[in-house]
Structure 1
Amino acid sequence: MLLQTRIILLVLATVAVVAGLLLGFAGLREDAAEQRARDLELARLGTSWQLAVAEAAGRIDQSLGRLVGDPEIARGLEADDRNALDRRMAALPPSGGTGNAITDLNLLSDGGDLLYSSDPALNPAPLLNRATLDTILSGQRLARGVRMVDGERLIVVAGAPIYAGAGAGGATNGSGAVGAAVAGMDFSAALDVLRRTTGARIFAVARNGAPLDGTTDPLWPAVRPLVRPADRAMETFSSAGRHYALASLPVADLAGGRVATVLIATDVTQAVEERTLWSIAYVAAVGLVLLTALGLLYGYLRRNFAVLDSAVGALQELARGRAMGYVELPGGNDEIGRIAGAVDVFRGVMREIERTAGQRERRLRRQQRFIRRQMEALAVTLEEEARQSLLDELSQIEAETHDSQSSQSKGVGDELGLLALGFSRLATRVSTQQVQLTQMVRDLRDALADKRRLISLQQELEIARTMQLTILPQVFPDLAELDIAARMIPAKEVGGDFYDFFPISETKVAFVIADVSGKGIPAAFFMLITRTMLRAIAESGVGPAETMRRVNNLLAAENEQMMFVTVFYGELDLTTGELAFSNGGHNPPLRMTGTGTVAELQRVPGMALAAMPDMPYAEKSLILETGDMVVLFTDGVTEAFNDSDVMYGDARLVQAVGRLTAATARDGLDGVLSDVARFTAGAPQSDDITCLVLRWRGTAAALAAPAEAEAAV
């Protein structure tokens, strides 16, 4: 087989393999994209289902509101008086309306006894188990979700605590919960909400596969064979010329078991048709490009190999000694052009040989001298040691050549052999030096590229540092009752510490200081997430402990990097000076009274946020006196080290705060940070340093009294 045939077949095979790989990779990428899209759609539909259940439970909460605030029901639960509860419930008008009808109602005592039930059975079972009821009675959370009753019926359940001395609107006189009201609404209410919010076709089956809802839908016969009650999955099917995506969402009981499966069928006909058209267009485009490339390559190879065949024929003629039979070939810098040039040289050599041996000898002599001069010129470009060694070898070669000429014992070929040996050594040295220079240039180029990337990264980190410091409050409101100042000094370009100060009502303000585990960009991102969640939940007014609990659960739910954050969060009532606070594993703040006494705030048990979900958080409170200063700080302050590797420590911080008896919040902040800076004395900062200082001036009424007295005088 000719070389040109082998090359063409090899190129064809290579192109075919590349085309197959391109189509295969495209298919894999499309499959991966479809899987990601299915996962995102499942997550979206799961969220829609949770929102549907929450909306149905919200309707139940509206009906429970009048029961929670009814004093007669509260007294009946407190006394465990079933007859009184029956009379009161009979006197109340029926709850709910269209779409809001409550099908089940329980009134339970704080001991877990069922004192009233809308179920007429002799011994009805309560809607909630004791563990769920305890969480309602303790006020930790409201029970909301799906519940199976009577072993076969599904309802949406919601419950709320009833307090002793409940008044209008559910207000209490401070007593504990005396019982709970639990109500249920038919499961179909949540399905109707899901239909309305998603616009999809909804079906539901029990845990054994029995249909619960949607059987009248014309699509049910096509959906029924695809039902897998235990799986959370997304699959596609076709019916009546339309394409659908079917999502299976298992429904969990409040007790934790699976009780049903919700099926959501979405019409994706348009998306499927568009994807099919794009796939066909992609395959056609790839095929067209490959065929065009193959055609051009085949034509190019055929044209060039035709010229190569002519060159081979000319070489064969030269090998037979027929120099005059040479055919003119096109020149150029490619292989064909170089072969043509070589053929021309061969023809010239043969003509010179045929013309005269003397001319050949003179030409060889001239070549010899030229080689010598080129070797000497090239030797100048070498390093000193290599250049001197090469010049010594040239002198030796010239001496041997002179001896051979005088003795006539060696011919011109021997002389050229000596020169060739010297040229070979020169070429080796030049090649070695060229390789070294090339490597040095490559290393220098890589070093310059690394430097440019480093400069770019430093610029981006500086921008991130400026943005992070801009996010934190820099200017605080001018309050008559309160003076506040804060500052964060990151150890790296960006840090994991943060502080915040914001109002949560007309009379209350919230403040927080936190320290994320680790440093750098990951900690900065985690800091921004924590700050955003904390603000969003705190502004709902649920109190410090509940705010910490909710933020902890949100952070722990998606904490794949296993990061955590210590947080001290407090709420200050500007009308009374009452400071309510909760602590999640953070350093307790320091309080300095007007007399100059410095002490830690009362320690509150609580773990760092995002470490574990569903952790309890306690809450404490105290009344600030006029002139009190509260100093919040992160461990970057107390764990700062000087050049002697000595830690700043809590004792030095207490002493520094004790010297700020009459200072404003800004002066107090500057005093603490200046004391830390003097202690470290230029040692490298090992951790982020953050400090927040509050100075309580007194309530508005207390501040107004002296002013009024002075005006009266």
Structure 2
Amino acid sequence: MLLRVRLVLVLLLVIAAITGLVATAASIIADGVGRDANRTERTAQLKVWEVTVRAEAAPLVQVLRGFADDPVFSQALAMGDRLAAAKRLDEQIEAAGPDHLFSRVDLIGSDGQLLWTSHGQAEDRAMVDVRRLAPSARAGEGMWVGLQPQDGGQLTPTVVMSLDGGHLAMSRPLGPTLVAFTDTYGGSAYLMTADNALVAATDERPWSSLQGAYSTGDIDPVIEDPDGRVHKARSVQIFDMSDTPAGFLIALRDATAERERRWLVTSITVVGCTLVVLVVIGMVYGWLRHSLVPLEELAVVVQAIARGNLLLSPDQPRRNDEIGGIARAVVVLREGAISLERMRFRHSRARRRSEALIREKMQELAATLDTQARGELARDLAEIEAKSGAADADADGTTPLAVAFDRMTARVVAQYHELSALLAERTRDLERLKEAVREREELVHLRQELSIARALQLSTLPASFPAFPGRTDFDVYAAMRPAEEVGGDFYDFFLIDEDRIAVAIGDASGKGVAAAMFIAIARSLIKAACLQGSGPAEAMRFANDVLASDNPQMMFATALVAVLDTRTGQMKLANAGHNAPFIRRRDGTLDAIEAFLGPALGVSDQVGFDELTIDLREGDLLFLFTDGVTEAADRQAQFFDTEGLEVALAKLDATEPRVVVEDVQAGLDAFTDGAAQADDITMLALKLRGLKGLRAIAA
């Protein structure tokens, strides 16, 4: 790389470092300005919201003053006559007519106890705790105004007035409060609870995008609508009349113009800075090129001298700087090289005859050797020529010739032995290679067959979830992790009719293709029998008779079938030697169904199976599994066991089937800690969300 290029690169690095420092400082300053702007914007947003809430509550203040100024009511309240005060409030509400502004009126004692409410006996708790009214909610002497959470998560504008003998509180629906806020502040507005639930909105179309952004922890998300416009959201926390967090107020404003303006300014700045840097670099490069051209010419002369070209000579130096000194030194170096070359020519003439003879004979011998030996011989020849150059006394070349023939003889003998040993070794390697190729072809063929069988087996299992997206009365989820290329487990679920769903799980003896084929036949027989109207026990009996009648390999399989009637919650089960299932009740209790264990399928024909009936309630969950779960072992050969499964099911926070199966699998993976899986792991969870019959009656 040329010196001027290196200097330009150093200059580029310096410019890049300075630019990075400036950019970092600008970024820090911009972040500080942005934080100050966000803080100011949030303060203005919260101030506009407080003014809007108080404006929306102003009509309630007038109505509340009218109720409080009534002489009959105020006298009864001052005398402690609760019944008379309540009766007068009923009369005033009735006189206000059906089109009144308020939605609820409470008479509250000084101790915070609810004395009377317009909602009647259905309410036993005041909508405002008058003992904890915050100073920030005060709107005058004895008057408080603000938002107050109500049942169902709604927020309502509420007014509280302090009276002689108690407090009078009045609320109204949220109504046009958000609309009034957006008229003043601009954009769209949303009220959201702390758990990201929407309370009210002026435009619900962007809410799905906002909710997704807030669920990830982004407090000021930027979203894009289908028209390509960019909107920026800013949220502030709002508090109720007790200064308790009540939710978040979100203002969504169009930021498309601001973003485009910022992009334009940034682009102009980057392009301008780039042009300035390019101009500076061009000027520096031109100056360096003009200054360093004589030095480059001297470098060419030195390189030519190093290659033995003494015809090229430098110009006579005319400069007194460092470059002129280098030029004079190069002239002296060239003259010395010419003298040395003449001396070497005289000394080398005497030994050329011997070297030519040695080279000719060694090349004839090298023609009989392989490529590697010829290369070694060439190195020997170079070494001999070097030694012959130093041996000035042996001008006739006899010493180099003797050394050459001695080495050649030893090399030919050594190569013969090496070739013999190499031939025997290559013969053995060829036989081993043939055997390895044959075994590899067999292994590839076997792996292809197992991969095809595994793909066929997994493709027959239902794997699309949610399995029944249109059903809200139940939910089901299942998963299988085979231990071999092809597993011996299965699971299945299907609708028998509109009101009944059947679930099944099984485990065949052994592993691999044979076990998968046997369990696939058992699954098909059970499903066919259930779809023909058979109950779980009858379906087990039918499948067992068919499997046991033609079973030369003496294989068997355990299985469990359950049919749930979603109208009544009644579930019928039959168990053919399978692990006892668990029922996780809605209250968190765990039941193991161990009382009806029957024989495995395929062992013997003409055997009966018991059928058990269990009532499931709304929120109950049935959990089926194979022995691969309980027999999973860690690195110390300790089993997960049934007790571990019970602990895992009891600790679950959620009861959704997919979450239950995935959490149990995660607990199983944590227990095994990477130990090899010895058996197939299959799990299925069925949850009764609600009784279909009761929902129809309610509808």
Same fold (TM over 0.5): no
TM-score bucket of the superposed structures, by smaller chain: 0.3 to 0.5
Larger radius of gyration: 2
